[in-house]
Structure 1
Amino acid sequence: MKKLHLLLIKSFIRPFISTFLIVMFVLLMLFLWKYIDDLIGKGFEWYVIAELMMYASATNVAMALPLSVLLSSIMTYGSLGENYELVAIKSAGISLTRAVAPMLIVVVGLSIAAFFFSDYMLPRANLKYFSLLYDARQQKSANFLPEGVFSNSFPDYTIRVNKKDPDGQTLHDITIYAKAVDNNPPYILKAKSGRMYRSNDNRYLIIELEDGIRYSETPSTTSTYTGNQRQVFTRMRFKSLQNKFDLKGLGFNRTDEKEFRGAFPMMDRRQLKEYMVHTDKSIDSAARTNYDLLMPYVKYFSIPKKSDNFKTYQKYDKGVMAYGETIVKANNVAVALGEARSIHDLLKVRNDRMDELVKNFRSAFAQYQVKFTLSVSCIALFLIGAPMGAIIRKGGLGLPVVISVIFFLIFYIVKTIGEKAAHEGSMSGIAGAWISIFVITPIGVFLSYKAATDSALFDIEIYRRFFENIFNKLKKSKA
């Protein structure tokens, strides 16, 4: 490998790694901003949040990798142009195409790695991420006992805490209403202060009450002459009392991941292909079944051949209702309406099932095509970034960031609209998945041509002179 090629690759790898990490960090912050309300205040362990952030980062690679390739390629060639290194390369007889070739090889290698990541790692990351996020959002708040509110978080108990200390564990003015359960009578607990914490196995919430009183009423064992059962009122004071509340159903419970495996983003190419084959067979089977169900309702009539003894025949063009008595006509109408309703009811349910099968097949096919677009998008965006950097001749994180964000927004918006249209059926699966590539690739080819011919496409001075000439001609024509 020539020293020049090694220099260009090193110039590309450094900004690529830095921009990739920056983009991943920004996307991770967007994830936290979006789901912060579903994660805070629910008593999650730190490793649960860390695991969720790790899976979220893995799912963001599909967006971060193409943007990093675009931004780093603009920065690399913009820096080379700003420092007149591209001029030195061209003066040595090396064209821009040859200068781009080693980095293009690196990007192709990244694209191949992105393809295997999209097919193998991304479905598993999506499965882990969405299942964990679903369980986290379903988790109830860990603030079981809010201040000044009668809380029913625990079955068979109503608890009110008048005030909490900033540590969240020290309680003041506590009231507990316990319902009658089995043979245990109801009671009321009132305490001046207390402290709550979880058990070591995280199965119970323990509340230690101090300086309180307990009220309860129990049926008397003695009866009266009137037959009315007396109630015995009991009042018990205590200095310290411990209550345990079961956290079953309130703790963090994981859902079986098998329930999420049916979603298309959780499937690899092999699973998607098997699903499409199975769905296609189901569609063909449903069509044949519909044909067999409709055939009994189709009436066939045998019409004799025209006789040679008659020269003319009366045309039968007045319809069935033109002949017969009124009762016969009404009977014919009733029979026809009954059969029409039967066919309608029969096909309605099967039509809904057929629409669902077709929609699922369409979505699976679109998702299958998306497996290839991540790798191709890296190459297409590089074809935009490299010539763009050579044209603007600006490095750093200033102008390259603005330009890369503009192009990436165009790419991402078109990609999102195309994939949604493919899933909905308003566009074919191939067109919907690849439309973003079809849009940005001609732009990349055009910019590559302009950069190879040393075009001053973004030279503001040229445009200023152009409009000044037009303005001067207009002034002369008016004069």
Structure 2
Amino acid sequence: MLRIKKLDIFVLKSFLLLFSGTFFICLFIFMMQFLWRYVDELVGKGLEINVLAQFFFYSGLTLIPLSLPLAILLAALMTFGNFGERYELLSMKAAGIPLLRIMRPVVLFCMFLGGMSFFFQNEIGPRAQKQLWTLLVSMKQKSPEVDIPEGVFYSDIDGYNIYVKHKDRETGMLKDVLIYNFSDGFENAHIIWAEEGKLELTADKQHLFLHLYNGEQFENLKSQSVISRNVPYRRESFKEKHTLIQFDSDFNMVDGSFLDQRSDIKNMREISQAIDSLEIHADSVGRAYFNDVINSTYKTPVLTKADSTKLEKLNVAYLNTDSIFNSMTSQEKSQTLSKTENRISSLASDWEMKSFMSKSTDGNIRSHRSDWHKKITLSLACIIFFFIGAPLGAIIRKGGLGMPVVISVLIFVVYYIIDSGATRIGKSGEMNVALGTWMSTLVLAPVGAFFTYKSNKDSVVFNIDTYAAFFRKVFGIRLSRHLFKKEVIIHTPEYRKDVEALEHISALCEDYMRMHRLKGLPNYIKLFMNNKPDDAIADISRQMEAVIEELSNSKDPILLNAMNNYPFLAVKAHKSPFGNRWLNLALGIVVPAGLLVYLHIWRFRLRLEKDLKNIIRTNGQVIQQIKDQHYYS
């Protein structure tokens, strides 16, 4: 029986507090990004507050499934990062509680969120999506508020272009007004100029009332008779003129039935039914096109009875079209080529249209299938993102809004790029639709499993020092010694024994350099056939480190500074790469790789000789300093 313990309540409470905040933050960010896409088409139309409220409400509903995975990822990172930073996770593990047991209550909660996300996408999301798209289309079709700018032509009123040189913001009067009226057609254009004018909206919000003062009107006239040819336009001067312009500024909701063909406003059952209908339609259209090809388009022309009789009399078994064409006159050749060109052009246009219709139907089917799978993958993303965020938080042990936010954004960007790119390729037909939609899940699920495994095993996968040591080993980069004077010294060095040990180390280094020609190229065959370690260098390194450890208790700063010149000896880099003889032999046979390793080892041999000379020189400096300071008699 599943028992709820205080630990489960503590972990779940810590997660819920952060999740509630991150969810609304992520939802707000996605809503602002969605609004930014349509802000140019919505601003300046005088939309009422209830219309805007509906827009934000429906857009928020449609973006909830996308906000949940990112919110879970960020909350999991912050929760388990806080546990690690405050050593709470260490205390739980010290009590014998494994990481998976600590994560269990939050895993169950995320599974519940995944189920709710699926239900939301399948039941509530499609309805909200339809209402949102209907509202967007209605908002786009609404006429904008009349706000005529200065110095440019304003063309948002159908059939009119209005130019205003100056506007009085306090009184609303327009100065130096020029109006082009094309409402009756371009041939019956009306051009009005006025010194002053004022534009008002009627009470029913269906018309604009234009008041003009001190101006002239020009009107083009169609030529209806011979007399009218002498009167191409009509000119009128006025002191005051009032005009009504039809302008509907009310918000009218359009009928959303035209959106019924969209796949994102259907649940899974409706999508399956739509796919069946589309496939039946595509099959019927394909059969119709096939029958058209067989019966008419490419059917061999049938000769007339007179032509057949003529060919029988001439005893012609087949027709040589080239001979017939060459026997034609120039005019007949031109007519034949023209007819052929027209027929080919007609066939090309016909099949281009049929190809477009077939591709459109296939694309619609792929879009429906992709949205069917998307409802499942987006729900699974809630669980996958938790198994990425929680282990990462336990590994990096950083809470707050710093590192977790950066990592969450990077992971989500990778997820979004993979998901959107693969889905787009799948919808285009270049990839299987199901594979393209599931690509992000197939990529991130193993990543989450890997992080969970490493975190449960207390791996140092994100320990920077581990990677730094690895790259130092690969590229031969070594750390420098940093010996400082100790505040408290327990054991005073025995300088006489240390001097003897240093002299012995110098003798060992000289013997080694004399016996091994380190500057010369090593024997290629012996190098890859030998897998024995270099005990001599290992012994020199061990003795040198023991003396350095002993002399580090000295109070002499000059002596300590001299010992900082001792190198850290690499005891294996100048030998065979592997301890297994057969692996070395296999690497040596692969000439390109073996040659690179061979040159790399020769480089370390040269560095080893330089280090041995440095040790001999430093030993001399240290021995001389000890003798000069009379540390022993």
TM-score by length of 1: 0.78
Larger Rg computed on CA atoms: 2
1:13 paired residue among 16, 20, 24: 16
Aligned-partner Cα distance in 2 for 1:258–1:101: 46
Which deviates further from its counterpart, 50-59 or 373-382?
50-59
Q: What is the identity, as a one-letter code, of the residue corresponding to 1:283?
A: A
Q: 1:164 to 1:101 in 2, by over 3 A?
A: same
Q: What is the identity, as a one-letter code, of the residue corresponding to 1:173?
A: K
Aligned partner of residue 471 in structure 1, secondary structure: coil
Aligned-partner Cα distance in 2 for 1:377–1:55: 22
The answer as to 2:120 corresponding to 1:117 is: yes
Q: 1:418 to 1:332 in 2, by over 3 A?
A: farther
Q: Percent identity?
A: 30
Q: What is the identity, as a one-letter code, of the residue corresponding to 1:246?
A: Q
Structure 1: segments with no counterpart, 5+ residues: 219-225, 300-323
Aligned pair count reads 435
Shift of 1:263: 1.6
Is the contact between residue 196 and residue 214 of structure 2 (CA under 8 Å) also seen in structure 1? no
Aligned-partner Cα distance in 2 for 1:372–1:435: 13
The answer as to 2:172 corresponding to 1:170 is: yes
Q: After superposition, what is the alpha-carbon deviation per residue over 1:96-133, rounded to whole angstroms, capped at 9, x for unaligned?
A: 11111110010011001100111122222222223333
Which deviates further from its counterpart, 139-148 or 389-398?
139-148
Q: Which has the higher contact order (CA 8 A, sep 6+)?
A: 1
For 1:276-315, what aligned pairs fall within 5 Å after superposition? Answer: 276-290=275-289, 292-293=291-292
For 1:149-164, what aligned pairs fall within 5 Å after superposition? Answer: 149=152, 151=154, 154=157, 159-164=162-167
Shift of 1:22: 1.3
Q: CA RMSD in A?
A: 3.9
Q: What is the identity, as a one-letter code, of the residue corresponding to 2:49?
A: W
Which residue in 2 is equivalent to 1:471? 477
Which residue in 2 is equivalent to 1:92? 95
Aligned-partner Cα distance in 1 for 2:372–2:30: 25
Shift of 1:422: 1.1
Is the contact between residue 390 and residue 451 of structure 1 (CA under 8 Å) also seen in structure 2? yes
Q: 1:163 to 1:443 in 2, by over 3 A?
A: same
Q: What is the identity, as a one-letter code, of the residue corresponding to 1:471?
A: I
2:396 paired residue among 388, 392, 395: 392
Q: After superposition, what is the alpha-carbon deviation per residue over 1:377-400, rounded to whole angstroms, capped at 9, x for unaligned?
A: 111111101111111111111111
Aligned-partner Cα distance in 1 for 2:238–2:154: 24
Is the contact between residue 411 and residue 436 of structure 1 (CA under 8 Å) also seen in structure 2? yes
Shift of 1:415: 0.4
Q: After superposition, what is the alpha-carbon deviation per residue over 1:368-420, rounded to whole angstroms, capped at 9, x for unaligned?
A: 11111111111111110111111111111111111111111111111011110
Is the contact between residue 203 and residue 247 of structure 1 (CA under 8 Å) also seen in structure 2? yes
Q: 1:389 to 1:179 in 2, by over 3 A?
A: closer
Q: What is the identity, as a one-letter code, of the residue corresponding to 2:175?
A: D
Q: 1:351 to 1:91 in 2, by over 3 A?
A: same
Is the contact between residue 111 and residue 375 of structure 1 (CA under 8 Å) also seen in structure 2? yes
2:5 paired residue among 2, 20, 25: 2
For 1:284-363, what aligned pairs fall within 5 Å after superposition? Answer: 284-290=283-289, 292-293=291-292, 325=316, 328-330=319-321, 350-363=354-367
Q: What is the identity, as a one-letter code, of the residue corresponding to 2:408?
A: S
Which deviates further from its counterpart, 121-130 or 145-154?
145-154
Shift of 1:151: 4.7
Which residue in 2 is equivalent to 1:319? none
Aligned-partner Cα distance in 2 for 1:38–1:260: 20
Q: What is the identity, as a one-letter code, of the residue corresponding to 1:142?
A: E
1:366 paired residue among 337, 360, 370: 370
Aligned-partner Cα distance in 2 for 1:426–1:178: 51
Structure 2: segments with no counterpart, 5+ residues: 185-189, 220-226, 301-314, 326-338, 479-569, 574-602, 609-633
Which deviates further from its counterpart, 402-411 or 430-439?
402-411
Shift of 1:21: 1.3
Aligned-partner Cα distance in 2 for 1:326–1:69: 81
Q: 1:109 to 1:174 in 2, by over 3 A?
A: same
Q: 1:283 to 1:179 in 2, by over 3 A?
A: closer
